[in-house]
Amino acid sequence: MVAKTPIEPNTIYTREETAHLLGISLSTLKQLIRTGQLRVSQPVGLRRVFIRGNCILEMLDSSTRDSRRLDTQPTNGNGHSQVKTLRAKQIPSRARLASKKTARLAGGANR
């Protein structure tokens, strides 16, 4: 068994180091950053992103709190949660345009 490296709160990590520490891919880490689940610092004019260890620990702590909260949700008697899942009401415009273009190229009805 491989011992995991502890995350130090006052250490600054790169995206690659953070992805390795968390055992996720770099693209998954970028998605966490893009969606605001992981806070980062990016100095003006630089492409480099800095991630503090305490931000990683906060993200992990909030995700465990959220999962515990979901575990204690009331059920409707059938074992199903009473919490409703929200769904997107619209397809984002880029995706909608891409699907129309694909249909046009395939000779579809969206001409």
User: pLDDT tens digits, residue range 94-108?
Assistant: 555 556 556 666 665
37-77 pLDDT, tens digit per residue, is: 999 998 899 888 999 999 999 999 987 776 666 555 555 55
Would you state the pLDDT for residue 109? 55
Give the CATH number, domain containing residue 23: 1.10.1660
Residue 34 lies in a domain: yes
Could you tell me if residue 94 is inside a domain? no
Number of domains in the chain: 1
Give the range of the structural domain holding residue 5, as residue numbers without chain letter: 1-71
Q: What is the DSSP letter of 66?
A: H
The answer as to whether 7 is a domain residue is: yes
What pTM, to 2 d.p., does this model score? 0.56
- The answer to whether residue 102 is domain-embedded is no
- How long, in residues, is the chain? 111
Percent with pLDDT over 70 in the chain = 55
- 78 inside domain: no
